């Protein structure tokens, strides 16, 4: 199929226009009730993540505890959407999150480079799902994409999707390496066509990671695909979203581009680690009226 | 032999209008008598009517886009060609100025020489005035922004009464440099010279209709000029208060641009300050264009 | 101040909804490939709370006269300026009669003797000072501008007031560099300029008029529009505080009669007017034969041309910004949309969606996208033209949003099935109403775009560079926006072709109306 593959026709993107549009969401003023509701919604959308060479079972256990009950002082803060770990940590996470409803996401397919034979990558996916992952975060092979071998990218995503079985597939485009919004739009559409349940900006290992404009371009791809086919696809910006304020801007963007249906952790996630504590601090500030200090919030 | 020669009957020339590169008679059939200083008949000259103006307007409109679309270098060469053609016929014009307009020999020679030089001077401006008047604009957003002059369209020139050759050239040359076409209305004591000039223009590679010349009476034509809805601008030399007022009022119907300047004496038209790139300025429009410049200035990151 | 109405949500009732509202929805409701139309719901699952900009920090008088010879002077025949979002009066302003205008002109004439001779570098410093003081008081000015004119605070705060300061700053720098502006020419000031400005960008238009006039050594008598005089009076306050010599800037309040007194005053050397083409023609006629110089910035019916290869999502934003910026009260608005037939349905579908997410309501709410229509009269004109559009057979599409129950508001609206001869395709509506037409080839786009007596602005959206340049050359308009729309900058000359007026404001070319060039 690779040789016969005809890439989808996607609209061209004007960078300055897309950036301007994204900036508009930053000027939304979110205060009081909408701020509190937004922060809680965001908390429920967090894919609480640890993806380090130094990860240990202990680290993952702590993270899972944080995921279940982010703030001991504030039981009304919902648990996060998922915990995101490397494949070997899936069994530990599975044990810690039993009965919580929190999803286990694992970065498979030779994250973060994606530089391995497809067969090896598929084996890793199957093993990870078997170990208990609910969601697989895969990376596309950017080398294939940038060299114009779009058919290979499509085949790869399609094969991984099949290997996922019942697990949901998030496809990481690593937009920081695709560089242009035109590439982002095309890669998004290829991933969606090949069966992605979610599209995701970044591994977090490459700068820049998620930005508002790049997320906008991906949201618009999702929107147009939905309007054409009726199929909903989820979105996950990841990397670089560290503050509640910025996350609220993303939420406003989702609301205004995709509407209410996407305002749930079923369809929108934030890939982040330090964001959660900032959310908790802002919620505490709204409750108490005092500006907060990180010393009162547990590490994830 | 010589006796026979002197008694030969001269072939009198019929002077017609110059419209769309052709020399039609006035459709009105009316004429004015042009006499020389001694009172002898020089020619029966066409007295253009409103319909002649209308026809000239159609011809000028038709020619304008093509003229403006030519390369500046090409327009420049055509104006230079006009100078060449005038130079080759300078003796004719000197004699015409003496015979028809009562110029002294020295003054006639000076006017013709200056007229040629002025054409050469304006010829050179064709591919330069856009650089003089245009610019890029350093806007504060991620956009490339530039302003450049464009032709206004069709401009009617109410030519000076004095300097029947140089006055014409000094007023229509800056108009056509900018890519406009023009209808020159000539109401002076020696309008035959304007038609002689039309013959130069007709043989100078100048596309028909870019310059149209109507001889006639200004007071008769101005109401129709002022109110013609397809005309873009009026350049009037030597209007009195009443004419200026009447033209200005009529011009409001379609928000025409008007430019009024005082006439000069024939010798003053030869002065250096009778030519200026700023004579081009009233007959151009400034267009400003914007376009985004990638994300470099706006994004700050690799996007 | 009474608080303005709350912003209201655009909750669609008649749009088919397929996406479920709840966070629990698991499955998509339509299988892939289904040809059933799918819709998005812009509802209130998570909503923006009211975020009103506070008005507590603003100061203004209950009653204003005029600003003449450096002083606030009392006037008579006061009229009320209304907050269009609340229909409540803000303050009272006097109407200047011919005698009052004469007083202002005399003050300006006297001041010209000082100001016209002052070293450019000194004039520059005054203008820089004014620019800085505007920046310092920008929040107050933005709030007052929104209260008096109805424009959303997001625009007065992020667009109008920053541009006002930037305009003074830009022209300040010109004041001592005029001899470099036009090589080979000698330049000098014109004298006393009479300036009449409109209500759509009250303070910005004042800046566009005053800054270049002062930089070039002229003195001015300015009349703000009678529905939006408040920020001009605040500017007078700033000018007085900046220590500008008395009489350099005089501001007289009033309506058409006051404007006529300025136009007719024999000792004024130059008139600069921004407003409707009809009034522009009256002014041009009034000063005919007087030798007064004139610049006019008049109406428009800007074409916004979308080619099939355009960046569609950015083009849709450009269309929205082109027609709904400042409630469409913009002379260069992209009020005629020309869409290539092959993408017509796609663009219209996106527009329908997009207008549903626009927030209409209290101009002072920081989340408002579309504020109040400037006046009851203007609202009436908009409604009349929209009725004409409907009765001429065009199809109307309107946001389903609710409107506040008081104040002058109008829903974002567009018409499809519009032909070139419809009134809504020809006449300037000056409101949030867009007419959508189609074209097949570039030639047809140019022909339709130019088929108007106006020539102020045009937009072109295409990914093909050569076509963009071709179109930019062929369109008869003073401002061409390529792959963008409604952008303004003090360095960028602005003004029209044909019946959109003559003269430029902004940049080097913006000096010309205020200079004698020899």
User: Using one digit for the tens of pLDDT, what is the confidence trace for B222-269?
Assistant: 999 999 999 999 999 999 999 999 999 999 999 999 999 999 999 999
Output the domain CATH number for residue C382: 3.40.309.10
Measured between alpha carbons, how far is residue C85 from residues A44, A134, C378 in Å? 39, 52, 13
Q: Give the nearest partner residue to C285 out of B140, B242, B249, using CB atoms.
A: B249
Please indicate whether, in this complex, the C-beta atoms of A20 and B294 are within 8 angstroms of each other: no
DSSP state letter for C49: P
The pLDDT assigned to C38 comes to 80
What does the radius of gyration of chain A's CA atoms come to, in whole angstroms?
19
The pLDDT assigned to A4 comes to 85
Q: Which residue of B has its CA nearest to C185?
A: B278
Chain B residues with beta carbon closer than 8 angstroms to that of C472:
287, 289
Q: Same structural domain for residues C291 and C345?
A: no
The pLDDT assigned to B180 comes to 98
**Distance between CA atoms of residues B72 and C508, nearest Å:** 23
Number of Cβ within 10 Å of residue B187's Cβ equals 23
Of C448, C486, C482, the residue nearest C467 (C-alpha): C482
Taking domain B16-32+48-296, whether its CATH number is 3.40.605.10 is answered by yes
Q: Same structural domain for residues C267 and C323?
A: no
Q: Which residue of C has its CA nearest to A232?
A: C28
Asked if pLDDT for residue C174 goes beyond 70, the answer is yes
Q: Is B139 on the interface with A (CB under 8 A)?
A: no
Chosen from A103, A166, A260 to mutate, greatest number of chain C CBs within 10 A = A260
Beta bridge partners of A77: none
> Could you read off the pLDDT of A174-229 as tens digits, one per residue?
999 999 999 999 999 999 999 999 999 999 999 999 999 999 999 999 999 999 99
If contacts are CB pairs under 8 Å, which of residues 348-387 in chain C contact chain B?
none
> Could you read off the pLDDT of B130-141 as tens digits, one per residue?
999 999 999 999
Among the listed residues C145, C226, C331, C332, the single catalytic one is C331
The pLDDT assigned to C121 comes to 98
Asked if pLDDT for residue B154 goes beyond 50, the answer is yes
Helix (H/G/I), strand (E/B), else coil: C485: coil
Average pLDDT for C382-408 = 96
Chain B residues with beta carbon closer than 8 angstroms to that of C185:
276, 278
CA distance B252 to chain A (A): 40
Q: Same structural domain for residues C294 and C308?
A: no
Run of H or E including C385 = helix C376-391
Q: Same structural domain for residues C256 and C394?
A: no
Q: Is B298 on the interface with A (CB under 8 A)?
A: yes
**Distance between CA atoms of residues A175 and A18, nearest Å:** 15
Active site residue A76: no
The pLDDT assigned to B294 comes to 77
User: At which residue do the structure tokens 């949901």 appear?
Assistant: A168
Give the residue, C24 or C478, on which the prediction is more confident: C478
Asked if pLDDT for residue B174 goes beyond 50, the answer is yes
Q: Are strands C515-517 and C501-502 parallel, antiparallel or unpaired?
A: unpaired
| Residue B189 C-alpha from the chain's centroid | 18
CA distance C419 to chain A (A): 28
Chain C residues with beta carbon closer than 8 angstroms to that of A258:
40
Q: Which residue of B has its CA nearest to A182?
A: B303
CA distance A174 to chain B (A): 12
> Could you read off the pLDDT of C220-249 as tens digits, one per residue?
999 999 999 999 999 999 999 999 999 999
Q: Same structural domain for residues C356 and C419?
A: yes
Active site residue C71: no
Residue C216 lies in a domain: yes
Asked if pLDDT for residue C218 goes beyond 60, the answer is yes
Chain B residues with beta carbon closer than 8 angstroms to that of A214:
303
Residue C13 pLDDT class (50, 70, 90 cuts): very low
Q: Same structural domain for residues C343 and C269?
A: no
Residue A3 pLDDT class (50, 70, 90 cuts): low
Average pLDDT for B24-53 = 93
Chain C residues with beta carbon closer than 8 angstroms to that of B233:
none
Q: Is C318 on the interface with A (CB under 8 A)?
A: yes
If contacts are CB pairs under 8 Å, which of residues 354-373 in chain C contact chain A?
357, 366-367
The pLDDT assigned to B278 comes to 97
Average pLDDT for C454-460 = 98
Asked if pLDDT for residue A119 goes beyond 60, the answer is yes
Asked if pLDDT for residue A272 goes beyond 80, the answer is yes
Chosen from B249, B291, B293, B298 to mutate, greatest number of chain C CBs within 10 A = B291
**Distance between CA atoms of residues C488 and C475, nearest Å:** 19
Chain B residues with beta carbon closer than 8 angstroms to that of C494:
288
Residue B10 pLDDT class (50, 70, 90 cuts): confident
Residues A272 and A47: beta-carbon distance below 8 Å: yes
Instruction: Classify residue A94 as exposed, middle or buried by CB count within 10 Å of its CB (0-12, 13-18, 19+).
Output: middle
Mean of all residue pLDDT scores within chain A:
95
Please indicate whether, in this complex, the C-beta atoms of A181 and B303 are within 8 angstroms of each other: yes
The pLDDT assigned to A247 comes to 98
Please indicate whether, in this complex, the C-beta atoms of C32 and A231 are within 8 angstroms of each other: yes
Average pLDDT for B204-233 = 97
| Residue B174 C-alpha from the chain's centroid | 7
> Could you read off the pLDDT of B92-122 as tens digits, one per residue?
999 999 999 999 999 999 999 999 999 999 9
Chain C residues with beta carbon closer than 8 angstroms to that of B288:
478-480, 492-494, 504, 507
Please indicate whether, in this complex, the C-beta atoms of B303 and A20 are within 8 angstroms of each other: no
Please indicate whether, in this complex, the C-beta atoms of A223 and C158 are within 8 angstroms of each other: no
Please indicate whether, in this complex, the C-beta atoms of B294 and A211 are within 8 angstroms of each other: no
Asked if pLDDT for residue C29 goes beyond 50, the answer is no
Q: Is B5 on the interface with A (CB under 8 A)?
A: no
Q: Same structural domain for residues C385 and C241?
A: no
Of C162, C134, C44, C86, the residue nearest C365 (C-alpha): C86
Among the listed residues A71, A137, A144, A197, the single catalytic one is A137
The share of chain A scoring above pLDDT 90, in percent, equals 93
Please indicate whether, in this complex, the C-beta atoms of A30 and C43 are within 8 angstroms of each other: no
The pLDDT assigned to B11 comes to 83
The share of chain A scoring above pLDDT 70, in percent, equals 99
Residue C7 pLDDT class (50, 70, 90 cuts): very low
Q: Is B301 on the interface with A (CB under 8 A)?
A: yes
The pLDDT assigned to B5 comes to 58
The pLDDT assigned to B36 comes to 86
Domains of chain A listed by start with CATH number: 15-296 (3.20.20.70)
Residues B236 and B258: beta-carbon distance below 8 Å: yes
Average pLDDT for C340-349 = 98
The pLDDT assigned to B4 comes to 58
**Distance between CA atoms of residues C400 and B12, nearest Å:** 81
Q: Same structural domain for residues C164 and C285?
A: yes
Average pLDDT for A223-237 = 97
Please indicate whether, in this complex, the C-beta atoms of B244 and C185 are within 8 angstroms of each other: no
Residue C37 pLDDT class (50, 70, 90 cuts): low
CA distance A262 to chain C (A): 8
Q: Same structural domain for residues C182 and C144?
A: yes
Q: Is C450 on the interface with B (CB under 8 A)?
A: no
The pLDDT assigned to B6 comes to 65
If contacts are CB pairs under 8 Å, which of residues 148-207 in chain C contact chain A?
154, 158
Q: How many structural domains comprise chain C?
A: 2
pTM for the whole structure: 0.94
CA distance B110 to chain C (A): 25
The pLDDT assigned to B3 comes to 54
> Could you read off the pLDDT of C59-102 as tens digits, one per residue?
999 999 999 999 999 999 999 999 999 999 999 999 999 999 99
Number of Cβ within 10 Å of residue C35's Cβ equals 9
Mean of all residue pLDDT scores within chain C:
93
Active site residue A137: yes
Among the listed residues C226, C297, C356, C499, the single catalytic one is C297
Cis amide linkage into residue B130, ω under 30° from 0 = no
Asked if pLDDT for residue C142 goes beyond 60, the answer is yes
Q: Same structural domain for residues C192 and C243?
A: yes
The pLDDT assigned to C6 comes to 46
Chain C residues with beta carbon closer than 8 angstroms to that of B244:
288-289
DSSP assignment of B31-82, as one string?
Answer: EEEEE-TTS-EEEEEE---HHHHHHHHHHHHHHHHHHHHS-HHHHHHHHHHH
Q: Is B65 on the interface with C (CB under 8 A)?
A: no
Residue B37 pLDDT class (50, 70, 90 cuts): confident
Q: Which residue of C has its CA nearest to A195?
A: C32
Q: Is C289 on the interface with B (CB under 8 A)?
A: yes
Q: Give the nearest partner residue to A19 out of B143, B295, B302, using CB atoms.
A: B295
Q: Same structural domain for residues C358 and C377?
A: yes
Please indicate whether, in this complex, the C-beta atoms of C46 and A263 are within 8 angstroms of each other: yes
Chain B residues with beta carbon closer than 8 angstroms to that of A16:
141-143, 292-295, 298
Q: Same structural domain for residues C344 and C292?
A: no
Asked if pLDDT for residue C299 goes beyond 90, the answer is yes
Residue C18 pLDDT class (50, 70, 90 cuts): very low
> Could you read off the pLDDT of C318-341 as tens digits, one per residue?
999 999 999 999 999 999 999 999
Q: Which chains touch B (3 or more CB pairs under 8 A)?
A: A, C
CA distance C281 to chain B (A): 5
Segments forming the whole domain that contains residue C399: 303-482
The pLDDT assigned to C477 comes to 98
Q: Are strands C395-398 and C413-416 parallel, antiparallel or unpaired?
A: antiparallel
Beta strands in C5-87 (DSSP E): 63-64, 66-68, 71-73, 79-83
Residue C14 lies in a domain: no
Average pLDDT for C187-212 = 98
> Could you read off the pLDDT of A273-283 as tens digits, one per residue?
899 999 999 99
Output the domain CATH number for residue C291: 3.40.605.10
* Domain coordinates in residue numbering, chain B: 16-32+48-296
Residue C44 lies in a domain: no
Q: Is C273 on the interface with B (CB under 8 A)?
A: no
CA distance C492 to chain B (A): 6
Q: Is B293 on the interface with C (CB under 8 A)?
A: no
C-alpha torsion sign, points C320, C321, C327, C330: negative
């Amino acid at each position: 199929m690779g040789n016969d593959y005809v890439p989808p026709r996607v609209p061209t993107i004007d960078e300055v226009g897309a950036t301007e549009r994204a900036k508009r969401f930053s000027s939304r003023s979110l205060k009081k009730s909408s701020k509190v509701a937004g922060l809680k919604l965001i908390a429920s959308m967090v894919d609480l993540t640890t993806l380090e060479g130094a990860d240990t079972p202990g680290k993952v256990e702590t993270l899972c505890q944080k995921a279940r009950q982010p703030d001991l002082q504030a039981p009304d803060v919902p648990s996060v959407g998922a915990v995101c770990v490397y494949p070997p940590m899936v069994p530990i996470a599975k044990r810690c999150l039993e009965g919580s409803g929190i999803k286990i996401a694992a970065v498979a397919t030779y994250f973060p480079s994606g530089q391995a034979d497809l067969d090896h990558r598929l084996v890793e996916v199957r093993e990870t799902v078997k170990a208990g992952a609910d969601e697989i975060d895969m990376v596309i092979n950017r080398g294939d994409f940038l060299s114009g071998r779009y058919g290979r990218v499509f085949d790869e995503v399609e094969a991984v999707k099949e290997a996922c079985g019942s697990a949901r597939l998030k496809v990481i485009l690593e937009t920081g390496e695709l560089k242009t919004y035109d590439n982002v739009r095309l890669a998004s559409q290829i991933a969606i066509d090949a069966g992605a349940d979610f599209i995701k900006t970044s591994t977090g290992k490459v700068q820049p990671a998620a930005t508002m404009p790049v997320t906008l371009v991906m949201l618009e791809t999702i929107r147009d695909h939905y309007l054409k086919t009726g199929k909903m696809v989820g979105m996950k910006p990841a990397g670089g979203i560290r503050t509640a304020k910025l996350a609220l801007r993303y939420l406003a963007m989702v609301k205004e581009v995709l509407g209410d249906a996407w305002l749930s952790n079923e369809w929108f996630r934030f890939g982040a680690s330090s964001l959660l504590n900032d959310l908790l601090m802002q919620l505490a500030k709204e409750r108490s009226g005092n500006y907060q200090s990180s010393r009162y919030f547990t590490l994830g | 032999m010589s006796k026979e020669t002197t008694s030969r009957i001269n072939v009198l020339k019929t002077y017609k209008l110059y419209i769309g590169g052709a020399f039609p008679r006035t459709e009105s059939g009316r004429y004015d008598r042009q006499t020389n200083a001694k009172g002898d008949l020089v020619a029966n000259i066409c007295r253009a009517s409103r319909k002649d103006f209308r026809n000239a307007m159609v011809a000028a409109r038709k020619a304008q886009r093509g003229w403006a679309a030519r390369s500046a270098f090409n327009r420049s060469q055509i104006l230079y060609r006009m100078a060449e053609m005038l130079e080759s016929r300078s003796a004719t014009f000197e004699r015409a100025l003496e015979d028809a307009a009562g110029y002294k020999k020295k003054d006639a020679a000076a006017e013709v020489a200056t007229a040629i030089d002025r054409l050469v001077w304006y010829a050179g401006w064709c591919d330069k005035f856009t650089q003089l008047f245009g610019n890029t604009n350093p806007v504060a957003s991620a956009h490339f922004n530039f302003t450049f002059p464009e032709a206004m369209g069709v401009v009617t020139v109410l030519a000076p009464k004095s300097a029947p050759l140089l006055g014409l050239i000094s007023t229509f040359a800056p108009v056509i440099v900018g890519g406009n076409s023009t209808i020159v209305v000539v109401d002076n004591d020696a309008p035959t010279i304007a038609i002689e000039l039309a013959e130069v223009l007709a043989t100078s590679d100048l596309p028909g209709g870019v310059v149209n010349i109507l001889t006639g009476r200004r007071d008769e034509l101005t109401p129709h000029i002022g109110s013609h809805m397809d005309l873009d601008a009026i350049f009037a030399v030597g209007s009195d208060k009443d004419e200026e007022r009447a033209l200005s009022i009529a011009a409001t119907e379609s928000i025409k641009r008007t430019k009024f300047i005082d006439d000069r004496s024939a010798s003053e038209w030869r002065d250096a300050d009778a030519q200026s790139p700023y004579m081009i300025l009233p007959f151009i429009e400034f267009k400003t264009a914007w376009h985004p410049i990638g994300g470099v200035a706006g994004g700050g990151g690799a996007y | 101040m009474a608080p303005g109405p709350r912003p209201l949500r655009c909750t669609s009732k008649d749009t088919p909804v397929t996406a479920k509202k709840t966070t629990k929805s698991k499955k998509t409701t339509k299988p892939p490939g289904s040809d059933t139309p799918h819709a998005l719901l812009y509802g209130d699952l998570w909503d923006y709370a009211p975020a009103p900009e506070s008005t507590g920090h603003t100061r203004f008088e209950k009653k204003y006269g005029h600003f003449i010879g450096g002083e606030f002077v009392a006037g008579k025949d006061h009229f009320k300026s209304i907050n269009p979002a609340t229909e409540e009066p803000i303050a009272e302003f006097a109407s200047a009669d011919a005698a009052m205008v004469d007083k202002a002109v005399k003050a300006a004439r006297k001041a010209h003797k000082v100001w016209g001779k002052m070293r450019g570098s000194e004039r520059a410093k005054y203008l820089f000072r004014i620019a800085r003081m505007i920046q310092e008081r920008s929040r107050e000015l933005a709030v007052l501008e929104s209260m008096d004119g109805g424009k959303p605070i997001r625009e007065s705060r992020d667009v109008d007031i920053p541009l006002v300061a930037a305009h003074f700053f830009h022209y300040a720098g010109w004041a001592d560099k005029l001899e470099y502006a036009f090589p080979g020419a000698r330049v000098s000031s014109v004298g006393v300029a009479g300036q009449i400005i409109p209500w759509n960008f009250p303070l910005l238009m004042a800046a566009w008029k005053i800054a270049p006039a002062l930089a070039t050594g002229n003195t001015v008598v300015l009349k703000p529009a009678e529905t939006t005089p408040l920020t001009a009076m605040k500017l007078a306050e700033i000018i007085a505080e900046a220590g500008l010599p008395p009489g350099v800037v005089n501001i007289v309040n009033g309506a058409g009669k006051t404007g006529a007194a300025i136009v007719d005053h024999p000792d004024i050397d130059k008139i600069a007017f921004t407003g409707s083409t009809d009034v522009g023609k009256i002014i041009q006629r009034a000063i005919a034969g007087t030798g007064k110089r004139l610049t006019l910035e008049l109406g428009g019916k800007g074409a916004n041309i979308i080619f099939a290869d355009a960046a569609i999502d950015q083009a849709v934003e450009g269309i929205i910004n082109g027609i709904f910026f400042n409630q469409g009260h913009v002379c260069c608005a992209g009020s005629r949309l020309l869409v290539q037939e092959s993408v017509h349905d796609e663009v219209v579908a996106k527009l329908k969606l997009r207008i549903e997410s626009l927030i209409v309501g209290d101009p002072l709410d920081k989340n408002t996208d579309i504020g109040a229509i400037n006046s009851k009269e203007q609202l009436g004109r908009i409604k009349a033209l929209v009725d004409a559009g409907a009765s001429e057979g065009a199809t109307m599409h309107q946001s389903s949003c609710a409107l506040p129950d008081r104040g002058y508001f109008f829903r974002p609206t567009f018409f499809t099935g519009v032909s070139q001869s419809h009134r809504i395709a020809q006449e300037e509506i000056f409101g949030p109403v867009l007419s959508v037409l189609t074209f097949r080839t570039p030639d047809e786009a140019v022909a339709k775009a130019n088929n108007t007596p106006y020539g102020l602005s045009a937009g072109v959206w295409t990914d093909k560079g050569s076509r963009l340049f071709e179109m930019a050359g062929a369109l008869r308009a003073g401002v061409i926006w390529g792959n963008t729309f409604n952008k303004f900058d003090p360095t960028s000359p602005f003004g029209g072709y044909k019946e959109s007026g003559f003269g430029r404001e902004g940049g080097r070319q913006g000096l010309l109306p205020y200079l004698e060039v020899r």
